[in-house]
Structure 1
Amino acid sequence: MRHDKAVMVIELARRMAASAEGLTLDEMARETGVGRRTAERMRDAVILLFPSVEEVSDPPTKRWRIRGGLSAFEQAPTTTELVELSKAAQALRVSGEPGRAAALEGLERKLKSAMRSTTLNRLAPDLEALVRAETIAVQAGPRPSADEAMLATIRAAVLAQAPLGFTYSRPGAEVRRRTVAPCGVMFGRANYLVAADRESGRIQTFRLDRMSAVEAEAGFAPPPEDFDLSVFASQSFGIYQDEIEDIVLRVSPEGAAAARGWRWHPTQTLEDQADGSVVVRFRASGMRELAWHLFTWGEQVTIVGPQRLKAVMAGELAAARRALDTAP
């Protein structure tokens, strides 16, 4: 479907207004998915339509931004955008994150209150119908703990690049007081603080529900300069981090269709086999979480490698068998 040029120009204007430092031509081209020459023409159109466009010198290049934001006319959200925001808040509330859900619900109220009444009245019937027609399925599993006061303390320490102190307790280990350089938080089946050891710089994860007496401490504790939380999170099958392995799984013909539509990992490749099966390859850590997931595939998945994943799977099976044998 051919993109409407006017829509693309308005979208570029929104991006320029949303960026505090402004966008270069290369960034405009990348974010809008067009060539540099097309980005130049779109920039010129934005300058023509929005006199508040400001050129910022950033040697060896230039940036352009729109100061003061855009009017409600250019910024009115669509029905789909409002529905997705409502669903995101609902998903957080269902998963046991009332504080984060409330933040999104507050944003939704602010957006609606800033809209023209005629626009809101026009969207309201479709919005109500879609919200009623879509819901979030409740999944079995532990509900993550997200103490809002703790999250606020962690976020403040991250922004200030201050040391974060806390008491950490986990089964089978001695309760310890830790002081780390906080890097961020990963939200998932359980919520984790990602932090660097202040002496070795080694990145570690700590479950929030096992942390107490959390406080920002005096001093300066920035994360490692080359640390990227998104890259770190993508290395693991789940959240738990250990040694990265080359994973090779063979999915039987019966499960091949489901496997092709499944997102195993950001690095995955799929290879169709002559017998109708599929070989899945990716690089990841977190063998235990991967083993837990593979149980849901039953006999449809065979572990080709690595050996450590086979050993972890065998250990989990043995633990389950012992639990059954000792059950009354």
Structure 2
Amino acid sequence: MVIELARRMAASAEGLTLDEMARESGVGRRTAERMRDAVLALYPAAEEVSDPPTKRWRIRGGLSAFEQAPTTTELVELSKAAQGLRAAGEPGRAAALEGLERKLKSAMRSTTLNRLAPDLEALVRAETIAVQAGPRPSADEAVLAEIRQAILAGQPLGFIYSRPGAEARRRSVAPCGVMFGRANYLVAADRESGRIQTFRLDRMSAVRAEDGVAAPPPDFDLQAFASQSFGIYQDEIEDVVLRVTPGGAAEARAWRWHPTQTVEDRPDGGVEVRFRASGMRELAWHLFSWGDQVQIVAPARLKAVMAAELAAAQAALERA
């Protein structure tokens, strides 16, 4: 744990407070103090940084290659993450992780790399990513580069946005971030109204960072925004109540429905799942996979969306 704390202190430019050390290490404050003292004794480059009303500690200059050598498990997970992105149709992001893997390996001592190589090769062959059916997200490297440049510089982002059945429009927005998932979306604020909107990356073209200043709303939180929806699509937030039959209860308890979820046992052996979310159509699509094991209690709009999707599926089946 002391070595891990040293790594965290070396990885932080501003340093860590005692409270941050305790939280990140999962220990109490007194234990964090003892761990900090051990790091200060082991690493002469460790220093105290004044940050009123607190103090911070960091290690300047980094740690040695021996202390920073990745483990077999870490390298395997990095390789699998790159493999998963490439299989999901994200070659640009996969290439970034593969480049990081090469840099890590090139920085390792040959003796360490030779020792890890057999286990690493065996595990890479023994583990793979199961690719599920679904949309192939698009994250063009040039588009991502422009978005990131605009975010870092606090500049407006201009692009042409095309949607099926609608005329393509030139947009200029204040970029707030990117959500990666079954489809990849730019999250941005309208420069006039300030309203937060989402734009699919594969429908954006002629993407350019523009002159001027355009920052996200000061109180905007990308993670909180993403957590509002069951999937990606954002609309009205609803109180969702689902009842799962006893046959599906075990799976429902282990299922991650939504960050706000509560799961309560029912007298019949089933469970009741509650959460607040938008994206009723995506939720309806997901509920198809549960068959007759889930009953929609609320909201009424989810019932209506589910009924409409069932009717559309039945009509398509009858036309076949």
The verdict on a shared fold, with TM-score over 0.5 as the criterion, is yes
Tell me by how many angstroms 1:325 deviates. 3.0
Equivalence for 1:133: 126
Equivalence for 1:293: 286
One of 153, 178, 186 as aligned partner of 1:193: 186
Matching of residue 212 in structure 1 with residue 209 in structure 2: no
Equivalence for 1:171: 164
Equivalence for 1:316: 309
Q: Supply the AA of the counterpart residue of 1:322.
A: A
Tell me by how many angstroms 1:18 deviates. 0.5
Tell me by how many angstroms 1:81 deviates. 0.6
Tell me by how many angstroms 1:121 deviates. 1.3
Tell me by how many angstroms 1:231 deviates. 1.2
One of 276, 284, 290 as aligned partner of 1:283: 276
Q: Deviations over 1:237-285 (max 9, x none)?
A: 1111111111111111111111111111111111111211111111111
Equivalence for 2:177: 184
One of 133, 144, 157 as aligned partner of 1:151: 144
Equivalent residues in 2 for 1:35-74, closer than 5 Å: 35-74=28-67
What secondary structure does 1:184 align onto? Answer: strand
What secondary structure does 1:320 align onto? Answer: helix
Tell me by how many angstroms 1:173 deviates. 2.2
Q: Supply the AA of the counterpart residue of 2:69.
A: A
Q: Aligned residue pairs: how many?
A: 320
Distance 2:214 2:312 in 1: 41
What secondary structure does 2:99 align onto? Answer: helix
Matching of residue 96 in structure 1 with residue 60 in structure 2: no
One of 97, 100, 106 as aligned partner of 2:99: 106
Q: Supply the AA of the counterpart residue of 2:66.
A: F
Q: Deviations over 1:52-79 (max 9, x none)?
A: 0121111111111111111012111111
Distance 2:160 2:319 in 1: 34
Equivalence for 2:233: 240
Distance 2:309 2:110 in 1: 58
Tell me by how many angstroms 1:313 deviates. 0.8
Distance 1:171 1:92 in 2: 27
What secondary structure does 1:240 align onto? Answer: coil
Matching of residue 265 in structure 1 with residue 258 in structure 2: yes
Equivalence for 2:247: 254
Q: Supply the AA of the counterpart residue of 2:157.
A: L
Q: Which moved more, 1:187-196 or 1:316-325?
A: 316-325
Calculate the aligned-residue CA RMSD, in Å.
1.0
Q: Which moved more, 1:118-127 or 1:187-196?
A: 118-127
Q: Supply the AA of the counterpart residue of 2:46.
A: V
Q: Supply the AA of the counterpart residue of 1:179.
A: S
Instruction: Name the % identity.
Output: 86
Q: Supply the AA of the counterpart residue of 2:252.
A: A
Matching of residue 326 in structure 1 with residue 316 in structure 2: no
Distance 1:215 1:325 in 2: 46
Matching of residue 202 in structure 1 with residue 163 in structure 2: no
Matching of residue 142 in structure 1 with residue 111 in structure 2: no
Distance 2:13 2:95 in 1: 26
What secondary structure does 1:44 align onto? Answer: helix
What secondary structure does 2:247 align onto? Answer: helix
Distance 1:200 1:43 in 2: 49
Distance 1:245 1:65 in 2: 45
Distance 1:90 1:312 in 2: 36
Where do 4+ consecutive residues of structure 1 move more than 6 Å? none
Q: Deviations over 1:160-183 (max 9, x none)?
A: 010000111112222211100001
Q: Deviations over 1:275-305 (max 9, x none)?
A: 1111111111111111110011111111111
Q: Supply the AA of the counterpart residue of 1:137.
A: A
Distance 2:205 2:73 in 1: 40
